[in-house]
Amino acid sequence: MSGAAAAVQAALVAALRGHVALMADVSGVFLGPPARAVYPYVAIGGAVSADWSHKTGSGREHRLAVSLWDVDPGRAIVLAGAVESAIEGMARVLDGHRIVSLVLMRSRMLRESRDGPWASIADYRVRTLAE
């Protein structure tokens, strides 16, 4: 993981865990699927990072996937809004980098099985430049 990717991930975790309304209703924020967690919870999926440099600066483009898991679809929709609010409130100045663009690419809600929990997944594109 590059320094920029680590900085983005740290800012993402801090933004989610620092969102008071979200944290009041979820059991936790986890890096990847938790071994055991009580619904609802937030899981940060794997990130993809690519070069986004230009002539005079070093940059990275990051793709993030954040999932809100819950057994209640109505509550999942409400909490998904809180997840998006937290992400959009991420710090823009990071450790050695700064976010110059943060865009929601898509969001979706799905269920893997008829009796399983609902997942509300938000995919973001984050572009950073080295300071």
Q: Quick: pLDDT tens for 14-60.
A: 999 999 999 999 999 999 889 889 999 999 998 899 999 999 999 99
Show the tokens assigned to 110: 């799905």
* Measured distance between the N- and C-terminal CA atoms of the chain, rounded to whole angstroms: 18
Neighbours of 56 (CB within 10 A): 6
pLDDT reading at 114 higher than 60: yes
Strand (E) or helix (H) holding 22: helix 20-25
Q: What angle do CA 19, 23, 28 make, to 5 degrees?
A: 120
The reported pTM is 0.93
CB 87 within 8 A of CB 12: yes
Residue written as token pair 């924020």: 29
Q: What is the pLDDT of residue 51?
A: 96
Q: Quick: pLDDT tens for 57-111.
A: 999 999 999 999 999 999 999 999 999 999 999 999 999 999 999 999 999 999 9
How far is it, in rounded angstroms, from Cα 86 to Cα 118? 20
